[in-house]
């Protein structure tokens, strides 16, 4: 499994969105779909999560209800190989959605657009023959977090093996943005590409639980280390969720939890789920006790 997986929160459109996205990219497919049980919280038998791949990259969609929404604070930057591709994606994503930046030539790109699709997910489409990976999560630091993109990137690369800053471009004098803040940054976490920038305009949105980063951990030691580092200055949440000091939401989840929840014995899976619901940081020993209970 991919180490860090973008996790998208929907009200009831997870399956529809996932199927729509896999139809738009090569090397894409739905991997797995889970359903709510009689214990809820969603309607029994309804879709809970959809795991899917886009251009050989993993994503997870959840029907979590109306509590959280996705914002432009995290978008997906798509490197398009041809004009046909960028035109096709622009038409598909803008259909029923909202165009934030028209498809056009800009000082930084021969052809670019920023679109929020009908499901609320934001896409940056760029005509370019050079990109580290096809679809790259793009973090925008605005409001109280403005000016902290470089600090955050350095913090994140310190957390994972095979991680580094790839490039940083800063706003120059006279740009209309705060001089020295990040205009465009690229970094790698466990071999996966991410992008970041500082946005100094008066944006009314911020990071939310609507789009989080799901981290698959090998053992309790890794869970403990990441939980301690990421909650420092941040906020603990239930069931392995947390917000870091920049407001970005993460899910720190041991891989064994997913295996237990997918066990063929529904009673074991349900006991593990009930144990997880009582936790903030996930405790593998507690999960095992619930799993092995007679």
Question: In angstroms, what is the C-alpha Rg of the chain?
Answer: 20
Asked if 236 contacts 251 with a C-beta cutoff of 8 angstroms, the reply is no
Calculate mean pLDDT across residues 216-244.
98
What pLDDT score was predicted for residue 52? 98
Q: What letter does residue 143 receive in the DSSP assignment?
A: G
What pLDDT score was predicted for residue 40? 60
Mean pLDDT value across the chain? 94
Structure confidence by residue, pLDDT tens digits, 77-102: 999 999 999 999 999 999 999 999 99
Domain extent listing, the chain: 74-198
How would residue 35 be classed by pLDDT, with cut points 50, 70 and 90? confident
The model scores a pTM over 0.85:
yes
Calculate mean pLDDT across residues 185-189.
97
What pLDDT score was predicted for residue 83? 95
Nearest Cα neighbor of 59 from 88, 30, 81 is 30
Residues 6+ apart with CB under 8 A from 119: 10, 13, 16, 17, 20, 70
Question: What CATH number should be reported for the domain whose range is 74-198?
Answer: 3.30.720.110
Rounded-to-integer distance, Cα 27 and Cα 61, Å: 18
Calculate mean pLDDT across residues 245-260.
96
Structure confidence by residue, pLDDT tens digits, 267-282: 898 899 899 999 999 9
200-230: b or e for each residue (b if 16 or more CB lie within 10 Å)? beeeeebbbbbbbbbbbbeeeebbeebbeeb
What pLDDT score was predicted for residue 196? 98
- Asked if residue 132 has pLDDT above 90, the reply is no
What pLDDT score was predicted for residue 129? 64
The neighbour count for residue 285, using CB atoms within 10 Å, is 7
- Asked if residue 177 has pLDDT above 70, the reply is yes
């Amino acid at each position: 499994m991919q180490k860090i997986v973008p996790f998208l929160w929907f009200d009831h459109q997870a399956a529809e969105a996932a199927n729509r996205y896999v139809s738009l990219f090569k090397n894409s497919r739905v991997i797995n779909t889970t359903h709510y049980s009689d214990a809820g919280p969603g309607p029994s038998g309804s879709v809970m999560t959809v795991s899917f791949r886009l251009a050989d990259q993993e994503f997870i969609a959840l029907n979590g209800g109306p509590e959280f929404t996705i914002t432009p604070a995290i978008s997906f930057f798509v490197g398009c190989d041809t004009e046909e591709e960028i035109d096709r994606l622009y038409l598909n994503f803008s259909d029923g959605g909202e165009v934030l930046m028209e498809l056009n030539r800009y000082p930084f790109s021969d052809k670019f657009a920023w679109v929020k699709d009908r499901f609320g997910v934001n896409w940056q489409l760029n005509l370019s023959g050079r990109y580290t990976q096809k679809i790259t999560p793009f973090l925008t630091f605005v409001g109280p977090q403005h000016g902290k993109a470089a600090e955050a990137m350095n913090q994140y690369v310190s957390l994972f093996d095979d991680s580094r800053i790839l490039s940083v471009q800063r706003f120059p004098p006279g740009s209309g943005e705060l001089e020295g803040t990040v205009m465009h940054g690229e970094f790698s976490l466990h071999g996966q590409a991410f992008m970041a920038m500082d946005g100094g305009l008066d944006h009314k949105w911020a990071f939310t639980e609507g789009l989080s980063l799901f981290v698959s951990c090998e053992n309790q030691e890794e869970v403990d280390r990441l939980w301690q580092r990421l909650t420092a200055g941040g906020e603990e949440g239930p069931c392995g969720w947390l917000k870091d000091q920049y407001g970005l939401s993460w899910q720190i989840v041991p891989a064994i939890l997913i295996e237990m929840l997918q066990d063929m014995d529904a009673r074991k899976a349900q006991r593990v789920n009930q144990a997880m619901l009582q936790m903030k940081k996930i405790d593998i020993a507690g999960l095992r006790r619930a799993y092995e209970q007679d």
